[in-house]
Amino acid sequence: MGVLDWLSERTVGLTRDVADSGHVAVYLRQLLRGNRSRSASSASPAPPTVRSEGGVQPPILLIHGYLATKGSLHLLEQRLHDRGHVVFSYPLGHMNLGDIRQSAALIARKVESLLAQTSVKQVDIVGHSMGGLVGLYYVKRFGGRRCVRKLILLGTPIAGTWSALLGVVFSPLGAAGLQLLPASPFLRELGEGPLPPDVEVLSVSGQRDYFAPSASAQLRGVRHVQVPTSHSGLLVDEPVVDTIDSLLRASVSKT
């Protein structure tokens, strides 16, 4: 490798590091909005009906991740809303430390209530990080197969992550930290049984995601898309929104 090639590679690496640092700073500002962050769809008039290749598109439920708040979703929620989607989210306790099963049960009750009180027939779910595991457990164990059209796992450590040890150290009373560890009883339980054929599950991972590397974010039989960003960048990097928007609008593939 020549000197110019070496300098070019290091410059690109430094640029990426700076960009990722910026993503973290923006993410932390959103995180500090807390669980009282107002939903974008409730802050302005309802957008026109969204249509995709398959017809009218369902509203989008965003689920935040471990050690996060509803506010962490604010930018993603706003940008999807600006693209014409109806978007909503729910707080999952203090920093989402609790049992993933309980969070999935809460999501099940919220979605059932929404469908019962409106003309909505189904929802799409985008779950960031551990939020994807919440969505997946809901779909597999709590009847979500009837209520969910698409589930996008956004930087979700399907195979677990040793990074969760940091959460275990600082929040030892939270069940979620232990459930996120590779080969945990929870992850083994989640992996049992096939995916519901009625729900299209997709996985999106970041090339520079060290919390949920692409290898840990892939699920057998599920389409996987990789984007050039970090774990926090999945929520604040605007090109990622274009990827999510495209996946949601595409016709559901039948296998």
Q: What does the pLDDT look like over 201-237, one tens digit per residue?
A: 999 999 999 999 999 999 999 999 999 999 999 999 9
**What are 171's two structure tokens?**
């929040």
In a domain, residue 139? The reply is yes
In a domain, residue 255? The reply is no
pLDDT at 172 over 80: no
Helix (H) / strand (E) element for 69: namely: none
In a domain, residue 254? The reply is no
**What are 231's two structure tokens?**
């774990």
What pLDDT, on a 0 to 100 scale, did the predictor assign at position 33? 75
CB of 153 within 8 A of CB of 217?
Answer: yes
CA dihedral sign, ordered 104, 135, 150, 39: positive
In a domain, residue 245? The reply is yes
pLDDT at 52 over 90: no
What pLDDT, on a 0 to 100 scale, did the predictor assign at position 120? 93
Residues with Cβ < 8 Å from 108, sequence gap 6 or more? 138, 142, 143, 144
Q: What is the CATH number of the domain that holds 156?
A: 3.40.50.1820
Q: What is the mean pLDDT of the chain?
A: 85
Q: pLDDT-derived band of residue 43, with 50, 70 and 90 as boundaries?
A: very low
DSSP 3-state of 126: strand
Give the pLDDT confidence of 104-161 residue by residue, as tens digits.
999 999 999 999 999 999 999 999 999 999 999 999 999 999 999 999 999 999 999 9
In a domain, residue 111? The reply is yes
Name the DSSP class of 210.
Answer: S
pTM for the model stands at: 0.85
Chain Cα centroid distance, residue 53: 23
